[in-house]
Structure 1
Amino acid sequence: MTKAGGRLQHVCSTVLATPPSYWLSLGLLVVGVVWFQFLPSELVKFFNAEVGPFEQFSVAFLAAAALLALASWWHSRSTSWLAGGVVLIYATLREFDFQKMFTHRSVMSLGYFTRPKAPLPEKLLVILAIAPCLIAIAYLLRRAWASFCDSSFKLPGRAEVAHAMSFWIVVLFGLSHFSDRTTWFRLQGNVEALVEAILALAVLLLVVEIKPRLIGD
């Protein structure tokens, strides 16, 4: 088997390892997207409001995942858990729009840095503020790259499940950005909050799944 074929087989086996909880979450997402197409506009606005139920669910799921990750780090002293906890704290604050209390828009976007509206001193302070998150993300990506992209990497059963869950988190993350821009079937602005809530739930389920039994330093 060629190297490309081995990697494709690895990805397929990873997807097939998706646990029932994730298939249920993805099923709820599909049902929710279809349901949203038939809701009155007033209800759509209610569900997608900044303080609406989906936004509140997202904050709650991410906050729970962050607390569990930090508790796992305290128990295992794993650098990976610490990095994961840091990223989840920033994700929770972003979902809570915490950064907008100090800046004119989200600082987790290239537009904030490329547009001249924010003064340079403010941008430098923001870079310092988000540096721990960027370092943590870089560390986690480096750890993930060696295992997920290597077709010869052998996974224990539960680790393969964790990789399958991580795969769907990446898919949902991309879908959350796509759904904010598409104009298909009244989707624009109608399902972004729902997708983000399912994404946050997926992150929480992943943290619950792996706890301190798979990740070392």
Structure 2
Amino acid sequence: MRIVVLTGAGISAESGVPTFRDAGGLWEGHAVEDVATPEGFERDPDTVLRFYDARRRGAAAVAPNAAHRALARLEGAIGPGLLVVTQNVDDLHERAGTRNLVHMHGELRMALCTACGSHVRWTEDLIDRPPCPVCGEPSLRPDVVWFGELPYELDRIEDAVVACDAFVSIGTSGAVYPAAGYAALAAAFGARTVELNLEPSDALIPFDDARTGLASVRVPAWVDEVIAART
């Protein structure tokens, strides 16, 4: 069985990772265009670097929850048949044990060198302009996909969505593309679609199975069902 799981902010919120964008469209009191666009970084790099340094430290201080652990358990049961595609930039899936994983919006624990284009593992602050480990230039920025930039590994994701038997959306609003279109794409190729979310999303088409509630409750229960069906 081939399963693609798409996760969003809702799965990490229960671990204490802020969803950042509030009802007023602000991220921690900042306008999105100031801290999540290339133009914002060009205008005021110090504010952007401090913002993501704080996010990196905050994510390191929390732990995976039952939903993250359940997906790692599912990977242990079905192996490479499971691909987790996350819109989140934290590393909670990895720390829970998931390995077959795509961070389509980048990672807080990675840095991108604007001088040489290298992607490097990074855990420290960037505000002091440390040199790139590859080229030596002080040109590191967060390796996070900002608005107006192309998400990572889109071909791999689309190939997996088209070929999957089940597509599962967890903790995501279904409002940001291209991720918002994956459920409809999977359904068009015959996959069963499942949504596990705190409240129904703005999906293009109805899910075959939509369950509302906390991810820490709904995801382990769904994983139990999938594993039981295989035995």
TM-based fold match above 0.5: no
Q: Which has the higher helix share?
A: 1
The structure with more strand, counted as a fraction of residues: 2
TM-score under structure 2 normalisation? 0.28
Q: Give the TM-score normalised by structure 1.
A: 0.29
- Higher relative contact order, structure no. (Cα contacts within 8 Å, ≥ 6 residues apart): 1
